[in-house]
Amino acid sequence: MAKFTTGCYNIGMGLLNDWFGGSSKPRVTDKEYRRAKSEMLTAGFSERERAKVDEIFAPDFNVPGTDAHPRGLEKEEIEARIKWLRENKSKHGFSDHRIDQIETILTKKI
């Protein structure tokens, strides 16, 4: 987290965002998401599986962010999509193990 020093006070970016109306919620950024996709490749995900992950999680990186809602995936958004994956296995074909891997890889990026 970036910090500014003013006199003897250190002010973190999250605190500044709260003061000025921005969002300070932890999120997976575009760069972190690309790293997560690389981890999935290392974990043995096929190109097809990674494309399906993109269909579910990547749209958040294709819309412009705002101060109130920067681009990226918040913890709650990841949890909601993981829940959807678990409840709709017939629509995507991921096994429980793969869903667990997706969840682990993405949540550790927050």
For 44-79, the pLDDT digits (tens) are 999 999 999 999 998 877 666 655 566 788 899 999
Count, residues in the chain: 110
- 3 Cβ contact list (under 8 Å, min separation 6): 10, 11, 12, 13
Give me Rg for the CA atoms of the chain.
Answer: 16
Q: Where are the domains of the chain?
A: 26-107
Q: How far apart are CA 26 and CA 74, in angstroms?
A: 6
Q: Which residue has the higher pLDDT, 17 or 98?
A: 98
* Per-residue pLDDT at 103: 97
Q: What distance in Å separates the CA atoms of residue 23 and residue 20, rounded to the nearest whole number?
A: 9
pTM above threshold 0.75:
no
Q: What is the DSSP string of 4-66?
A: EEETTEEEEHHHHHHHTT-----EE-HHHHHHHHHHHHHTT--HHHHHHHHHHHGGGGSS---
